[in-house]
Amino acid sequence: MYDISHGRFKQARQIASPNFNERPEDAEVDAIIIHSISMPPGCYDGNDIDHFFCNQLDWEKDPFYDSIRGMEVSAHLLIRRSGELVQYVNLFSRAWHAGPSTLCERENCNDFAIGIELEGTDQSQFEKAQYETLAEVITALRQYFPKITKERIVGHSDIAPGRKSDPGTGFYWENLFSLL
């Protein structure tokens, strides 16, 4: 079971991202947004996701990086292909993962949501270890933030339709919900 203390998962590898700010004073965490990411796309080796979320990416390393040059983004959590959990932003802070977004007629999902990245692509299958870690993380988050309901566990594509397609067609929601 994953354990959270002071907005940090004790079992997560901690990497501090500078890409966050404070949530609005009246914001309550009541949603989880699931994303997918790999850097470069389809590559699961190395630490480029960590570098990207910490503004330390070598923009010259891959031609794809030119299209995201200078972006400052983060997520609260990343689940690697192996199931390893990495945390970049304290859960009480606003990570920069959702961009322009709407959930249940509320805009700016970063204000009230936890962003979880799964290492993968919009078309890739995700690993059993990722689903297992994700289910355990969501269970811990729902205990820590009791206003998170099943209906508020959504994909990036759900809050930014037409702009985003992750976690994608390779993510099986039924796999996740059967583990919860």
Q: How far apart are CA 131 and CA 74, in angstroms?
A: 21
Residue 1 pLDDT exceeds 90: no
Strands lying side by side in the sheet with 31-37: 13-14, 85-87, 77-79, 113-119, 31-37, 153-155
- The whole-number pLDDT of residue 13 equals 98
Quick: pLDDT tens for 13-26. Answer: 999 999 999 999 99
Percentage of the chain beyond pLDDT 70 is 100
- The whole-number pLDDT of residue 141 equals 98
Residue positions annotated with a catalytic role: 117
Whether the model pTM is above 0.85: yes
Q: How far apart are CA 27 and CA 159, in angstroms?
A: 18
**Domains recognised in the chain with CATH numbers:** 4-179 (3.40.80.10)
